[in-house]
Structure 1
Amino acid sequence: MFLTGFAALAVVPTLPTAARDLDGVSLFPVVAGCFVTASLLGGVVGGHWADRAGARRPLAAGVVLAVVTLVVSGVSTSIWQLAAGRFLDGLAAGMVAVSVNAAIGQAYPERLRPRALALMSSCWIIPSLVGPPLAGLVSEWWSWRAVFLGLAVLTLLPSLALVVVLRGPSLPEGAPPDDHPSRPPLLIAAVVSLGAALGQYGVSGWDVRHLLFVAGGLGLLVVFAPRLLPVGTWSAARGLPATVMLRGLSSGTYFTVEALIPLMLINERGAPAVLIGLAFTGAAVVWAGASWVQGRMESRPRHLLVAVGALVMAVAVGLAVVGTFNRGPVLIAASAMLLAAVGMGLLAPSLTVLSLSHSPSGRLGHTSGAMQTSQNLGQVTVMALAFATLNTCVAMGASTMAGYGAAFGLLLLPPLLIALLAGRARSTGGRVVAAVHADEPSLTGSGSD
């Protein structure tokens, strides 16, 4: 998990530079969205594989695939190869994240699972401090390719060692027989991932061909995505459906801000890559700090913390809008990433706690899967809408900075909607499980102490 976190946090700040060097800035939504769409499929694949045969095989496969993806991305000669590398990386990340949680559930008794989950979250602390600024320095002084290939070299031997350790019986002792049909969920997840990918490509341009891709992707999402989510999610029905929906809106807003701001600062404001790396580091640190704070507010209703976190994110998006003014300092836009992370640190773990309190007995794994699916769909959908707004403004003759301002203005709507609907996620009673304090986006825990 340490290597996964280091690779994930180090790679993201280099993507705008890589897209620029490969003459693919217009296709940046595809590069940014490929990881998310693939992680949705990878999570379903890893979860069903772990249920059928234990967590060892999908975990080992995900770790090996993660090394391969770094090489594919590092030697990219076109923006499409970089997108393919990010797709494979998302597939690997989804498998690893779900497999790690499944392994903890299979290997540890219930009383030790919270400690194991806390250990997994703590593995992200050092990568968040070191990874982004170091990647920014290497990218600026040497090459963005060195970041990908260097990470591949660093992770090769530990990954092979982990594969050796994971050798053994694939099915844990005492595990139930395979009675889970795997094909329908996997096929649905693959179709949903395809729809998300089509939509991401469609918003990269503004002509009939791109609009057809958008329409096709949207159609697939509308028809098949609800099958992976609780009934009533789209209408924010009280309880778990509303909680799942709010997770998608919050993740979509945050990670779109995290994608748009670096792209704007590097390509339009000429900000150094080191500054972007420091912004990512700061965001990771304040996210963890805000998560720690909410973990100590046990007497506060969780839905109120969700509303407060959403309002903080709305203020952060407002700062991003101000940061699009050419005369303003670049630090204004960069600081929006930090403030948005504060909001997510309050909001995300609170939603996790609420989802577990709403989950029926024996369905915690299914609930966690629904939350992760909603998170990925929210990222894809909100990011696609934001980039579509940006490209539409530019196609209509507006300046690029005006397009960024309009895109950020659109992002004000989801956090305000979250604040308005937070009461629908309110816990109706019962024992609420404490969330892991760091609550990294792909490391949602489901254990209780």
Structure 2
Amino acid sequence: MFLTGLAALAVVPTLPTAARDLDGVALFPLVAGCFVAAGLLGGVVGGHWADRAGAQRPLAAGLLLAVATLLVSGASTSIWQLAAGRFLDGLAGGMVAVAINTAIGQAYPDRLRPRVLALMSTCWIVPSLVGPPLAGLVSEWWSWRAVFLGLAALTALPALAVVAVLRGPSWSAAAPPEAERAPRPALLVATAVSLGAALGQYGVSGWNARHLLCAAAGFALLAVFATRLLPPRTWRAGRGLPTTVLLCGLGSGVFFTLEAYVPLLLVTERGAPPVVIGLAFTGAAVAWAGSSWVQGRLLERAPRHRLVAAGALTQAAAAGLAIAGTLPATPAYTAASAMVVAAVGMGLYAPSLTVLSLAHSGAGRHGYASGAMQTSQNLGQVTVLGLASALFNATLAAHAADAVGYGAAFALLLAPCALGALLATRARSPHRP
């Protein structure tokens, strides 16, 4: 988790600068969305691999692939190669995230899981303090490519060491009988969903017939195939795991959209240097870790669904700050504080939903539940970011100022925040505290 946090927090702040240098600002939603689209496939593959063979193998494979993706992205000569690198990174990230959550479900009892999840969040503290500001300085003084290639060199040997350590006995109990295993969607279904997500992100990056056709095809694929990767009754917010999975998508979509568009606003409209954007990511990571520590220690006996509702309302406040940050009368970096506030909400929101998902799934199904959560997270990010991007580009097509487009995209985020707060009670844990 430390290696993942270091790479993720150093890379993401450099993406707006890389997109600008590669003349691909219009395709920035595709660069951001490719990571999410591949995460859909990686989450499904990693979840079912973990249920059948334990969490170690998908975790090791994801770590090695993550190093390779840094090399691909760092050598980018076009926005399309950068998007391809982000796609591979999403595939690796989906496998790693699901494998870690599955390992927690396999190796720890219910009462310790909130603390273990809080420990996973604390692994992001040092990367958050060092990664974004250092990456911003390297990008500003040298090159954004040096960030990718330097991280590849830095993480290659530790990743190999972790892979060697993981070659021990499995953490999981004996594999359950075939009849008791969670249903395994075909790889073709997961591939179709990933393709649909990528087409959708490309489609909303423009406003002409070709882009509209790609957007329609992408969201049609999602409508047909996405439901096969999620628990039944997810779209109807059925009580228990279905609502928990749905809430994961809503919250992640809000946070990811803020994380994508706030730095782009600061770079393109306010002329903020990369180091300032790196500091905003640092503040967000520290806020997330601190909020997660609070829920795991001080609020460990609080009902999880109430923490989910509190996190959703905090995200709504963050969206309001982002809207205010687009106004000319506000300080230039007001919008940057939205990332920190949204991270506080996610520190309450995400670990609580993970605990609820594991509580709602039985033995031998932790990988299935973790994979469904990862799939919902990525679908939520693709859908919310896609809708916000479509609104942003439609506003620009109407010859409005860029600030108006950003404001409209941020205002859209209030809807999933409100829905998350309203549906939280339907995810109530089946066990007494």
Give TM-score scaled by structure 1 length.
Answer: 0.89
* Contact map agreement 1:14 1:273 (CA 8 A) in 2: yes
Write the mapping of 1:38-437 to structure 2, written as runs, cut at 5 A: 38-103=38-103, 108=107, 110=109, 114=113, 119-167=119-167, 175-176=174-175, 179=178, 184-295=185-296, 296-360=298-362, 362-427=364-429, 429-432=430-433
Q: Which is worse superposed, 132-141 or 8-17?
A: 132-141
- Cα 1:344–1:176 change in 2 (3 A) is closer
Deviations 1:51-74 (A, max 9, x none): 334444433322221111101100
* Contact map agreement 2:230 2:375 (CA 8 A) in 1: yes
Q: Residue type of the partner of 1:155?
A: T
Distance 1:299 1:330 in 2: 40
CA RMSD of aligned residues (A): 2.5
- CA drift of 1:388 comes to 0.8
- CA drift of 1:332 comes to 1.0
Distance 1:262 1:395 in 2: 22
- Cα 1:238–1:119 change in 2 (3 A) is closer
Q: Residue type of the partner of 1:130?
A: V
- Cα 1:425–1:74 change in 2 (3 A) is same
Distance 1:183 1:420 in 2: 31
Deviations 1:285-343 (A, max 9, x none): 11122222233224543333222222221111111111111332122111111111112
* Contact map agreement 1:2 1:124 (CA 8 A) in 2: yes
Secondary structure of the 2:157 match is helix
Q: Which residue of 1 aligns with 2:33?
A: 33
Counting matched residue pairs gives 429
Q: Which residue of 2 aligns with 1:443?
A: none
Secondary structure of the 1:330 match is coil
Q: Residue type of the partner of 1:231?
A: P
- CA drift of 1:177 comes to 8.1
Distance 1:48 1:80 in 2: 30
- CA drift of 1:248 comes to 0.7
Distance 1:415 1:264 in 2: 21
Whether 1:12 and 2:12 are equivalent positions in the alignment is yes
* Contact map agreement 2:118 2:351 (CA 8 A) in 1: no
Distance 2:392 2:33 in 1: 16
- CA drift of 1:391 comes to 0.7
* Contact map agreement 2:48 2:367 (CA 8 A) in 1: no
* Contact map agreement 1:52 1:178 (CA 8 A) in 2: no
- CA drift of 1:237 comes to 2.2
Q: Residue type of the partner of 2:71?
A: V
Q: Residue type of the partner of 1:358?
A: H
* Contact map agreement 1:44 1:185 (CA 8 A) in 2: no
- Cα 1:56–1:349 change in 2 (3 A) is closer
- Cα 1:129–1:162 change in 2 (3 A) is same
Distance 1:390 1:86 in 2: 22
Q: Which residue of 2 aligns with 1:442?
A: none
Q: Which residue of 2 aligns with 1:24?
A: 24
Distance 2:117 2:349 in 1: 19
Q: Residue type of the partner of 2:404?
A: A
- Cα 1:23–1:218 change in 2 (3 A) is same
Runs (5+) with no aligned partner, structure 2: none
* Contact map agreement 1:51 1:178 (CA 8 A) in 2: no
Q: Which is worse superposed, 187-196 or 76-85?
A: 187-196
- CA drift of 1:262 comes to 0.2
Q: Which residue of 2 aligns with 1:446?
A: none
Q: Residue type of the partner of 1:247?
A: C
Deviations 1:99-134 (A, max 9, x none): 34445666x475997476555443222111111111
* Contact map agreement 2:118 2:292 (CA 8 A) in 1: no
- Cα 1:354–1:275 change in 2 (3 A) is same
Q: Residue type of the partner of 2:339?
A: M
Secondary structure of the 2:307 match is helix
Distance 2:371 2:18 in 1: 32
* Contact map agreement 1:13 1:277 (CA 8 A) in 2: yes
- CA drift of 1:144 comes to 0.5
Deviations 1:361-407 (A, max 9, x none): 55333222222211111001000111111111111111111111111
* Contact map agreement 2:46 2:371 (CA 8 A) in 1: no
- CA drift of 1:173 comes to 9.5
* Contact map agreement 2:316 2:418 (CA 8 A) in 1: yes
* Contact map agreement 1:104 1:113 (CA 8 A) in 2: no
- Cα 1:196–1:264 change in 2 (3 A) is same
Distance 2:21 2:104 in 1: 41
* Contact map agreement 1:73 1:148 (CA 8 A) in 2: yes
- Cα 1:178–1:161 change in 2 (3 A) is farther
Deviations 1:155-184 (A, max 9, x none): 122223334444578x78974389469974
Distance 1:426 1:166 in 2: 35
Secondary structure of the 2:333 match is helix
Distance 1:248 1:308 in 2: 16
- CA drift of 1:431 comes to 3.3
Distance 2:182 2:166 in 1: 25
* Contact map agreement 1:357 1:431 (CA 8 A) in 2: no
* Contact map agreement 1:54 1:172 (CA 8 A) in 2: yes
- CA drift of 1:424 comes to 2.3
Distance 1:173 1:225 in 2: 28
Secondary structure of the 1:231 match is coil
- Cα 1:240–1:27 change in 2 (3 A) is same
Distance 2:17 2:283 in 1: 20
- Cα 1:136–1:241 change in 2 (3 A) is same
- CA drift of 1:274 comes to 1.1
Q: Residue type of the partner of 2:279?
A: L
Runs (5+) with no aligned partner, structure 1: 433-449
